[in-house]
Amino acid sequence: MNKLIKSLPLIAVFFATSALAEGDLSRADPKEIIIEMGTEQGVMYFKPEHIELQTGTAYKIVLRNMDDEKHEFAGPELVGKVYSRKVEVTSLDGKMIAEVKGTVSEIEVGPMRQVEWYIVPIQTGNNIPIICDIDDHNDRGMNGTITIK
Ligand SMILES: [Cu+2]
């Protein structure tokens, strides 16, 4: 009995270590979700305007600006609910220009450009608002929601 109790912490360490190796989300292959930003007949949009994510799953959110003006992807409420792995800026032929690491609350994307945002949602939330905070873009329809399950 005494022997078993003494060996328990060792067993726990073993399981914790193996679980960590399998669930290393900083290296996981992310699921790709493309969000287009643009204007259609005067109405501005995020397409799709709603996405659903799962906690503990790695995502690559591709923010693609289809417009000839800059747009922004801002979600102050989203910040605390996702772990930002990195933001990657690439040239049009896919070569890396910059990789930014750390917490992200908004991303501005230049005309006809795209940015890849690598995240892992860590907290659930229903219809978390996302907006473009540039000029009157939010009023013109550039907003959406994200649900994390
Ligand atoms: Cu905008």
Tell me the domains of the chain and their CATH numbers.
29-148 (2.60.40.420)
CA of 135 to the centre of ligand 1 (A): 8
> Which pLDDT tens digit goes with each residue over 128-137?
999 999 999 9
CA of 97 to the centre of ligand 1 (A): 23
Contact partners, residue 145, CB within 8 Å, separation at least 6: 49, 50, 127, 128, 129, 130
Instruction: Please state whether 87 falls in left (phi above 0), alpha (psi between -120 and 50) or beta.
Output: beta
> Which pLDDT tens digit goes with each residue over 5-52?
555 554 444 444 444 445 666 667 899 999 999 999 999 999 999 999
CA of 51 to the centre of ligand 1 (A): 18
pTM recorded for the entire structure: 0.81
